[in-house]
Amino acid sequence: MNRLTERLGIRWPLIQAPMAGVQNAALAIAAGEAGALGSLPCAMLAPEAMAAELQRLAATGRPYNVNFFCHTPPAPDAAREAGWRAALAPYFAEIGLDPASVPAGAGRLPFSAAAADVLETFRPRVVSFHFGLPEPALLARVKAWGAVVLSSATTVEEAVWLEAHGADAVIAQGLEAGGHRGHFLSHDLTLQSGTFALLPQIKAAVRVPVIAAGGIADAAGVRAAMALGADGVQVGTAYLCSDEATTSALHRAALQSEAARHTQLTTLFTGRPARGIPNRVMRELGPMHPAAPAFPLATAAIAPLRAHWEKQGQGDFSPLWSGQNASGCRSGSAKAITAALAEGFGPI
């Protein structure tokens, strides 16, 4: 037991990272059964779907984490959208798609009053946010039932800000991490560092528990993070090929291929830097494209290309999210993956 396991009500100070688009409650339930904290990502769930997943988690009687993005939705920008569609035009032409038939819109939603309404009926023990914290009134609603609030920091400044604004623990998200970078104070990626550089500096700067995330893929990684002072770890990529994840077959194949040894940050799929395995569109347009609309508006125009090529069994336009260390990404039950990671905490 340490202060994090006590606070979260779990056996191991291990959080199965919330991963929107590749999991539902099944993965969270399995990780929870094995003594970790399972997470339900809600960035791509409408309130009804969210309620159905929460029902499944609540039925376990175990603590669980519910995760939200909390970005400020950008104002639509017609000129930027047109520039983005122009960049994608050759690809639309290649598959005979009329770009005018492709709707614009946001594929990911921030935490909202409607989401808080649903959440309030379940009162989850833990709520985590990515991209900062929601506005004070919404955060107060979550805190009202005593939820432990977590959020990701990619710099020391963000960790200090999160502690000052009500986070009960900080996730130190190193540059190795798969999926979206959690930054919210600055878009300058050169300010960000690797997990083992970031973790001790955040530990020295805040009093709340610090959870290490990024590149931790096995028991040795867990041990190393704990030796550097982490109060716990959050692991994402290592769960992507688990039986309970909904990761597509082509994403699983990429994760278990040599291509996964080299990942890149890309804005092509959502407008915000996120780490994934390079594919055709990243190679041809470059992973960070100046025309990509602000997060999350870039998704709409690329979505039909993704759908078309996935039907042909190709991941050339799909986000193949992965952290830098996909070596722990194996098939099997999330229970077995959790147990293997938990060996890093030593004998109980």
Given the rule CB under 6 A, which of 45-53, 86-94, 135-143, 176-184 is the region that contacts ligand FMN? Answer: 176-184
CB of 100 to ligand FMN, least distance (A): 31
Between 32 and 41, name the residue whose CB sits nearer to ligand FMN. Answer: 41
Cα dihedral sign, 163-344-28-265 = positive
Give yes or no for a contact between 295 and 80, defined as CB atoms under 8 angstroms apart. Answer: no
For position 323 contacting ligand FMN by CB under 6 A, the verdict is: yes
By CB under 6 A, what part of segment 44-83 binds ligand FMN? 67
CB of 22 to ligand FMN, least distance (A): 5
- How many Cβ atoms are within 10 Å of 179's Cβ, its own excluded? 25
For position 181 contacting ligand FMN by CB under 6 A, the verdict is: no
Give yes or no for a contact between 95 and 281, defined as CB atoms under 8 angstroms apart. Answer: no
Give yes or no for a contact between 344 and 238, defined as CB atoms under 8 angstroms apart. Answer: no
The two three-digit tokens of residue 34, written as one number: 């094995």
For position 177 contacting ligand FMN by CB under 6 A, the verdict is: yes
Q: Which of 91, 269, 321, 345 binds ligand FMN (CB under 6 A)?
A: 321
Q: Which of 142, 213, 254, 285 binds ligand FMN (CB under 6 A)?
A: 213
Q: Which of 8, 14, 19, 109 binds ligand FMN (CB under 6 A)?
A: 19
Given the rule CB under 6 A, which of 12-20, 158-166, 262-270, 301-309 is the region that contacts ligand FMN? Answer: 12-20
Query: What is the number of the residue whose Cβ is closest to ligand FMN?
Result: 236
DSSP state at residue 68:
E
Give CA separation, 27 vs 33, 64, 152, 282, 310, in Å. Answer: 10, 11, 21, 29, 23
The two three-digit tokens of residue 97, written as one number: 């798609």
Between 17 and 88, name the residue whose CB sits nearer to ligand FMN. Answer: 17
| Angle between helix 25-33 and 334-342 (nearest 10) | 40
Cα dihedral sign, 263-264-265-270 = negative
**Residues at the site binding ligand FMN, with contacts judged by CB under 6 A:** 17-20, 22, 41, 43, 67, 130, 173, 176-180, 213-216, 234-237, 321, 323, 325
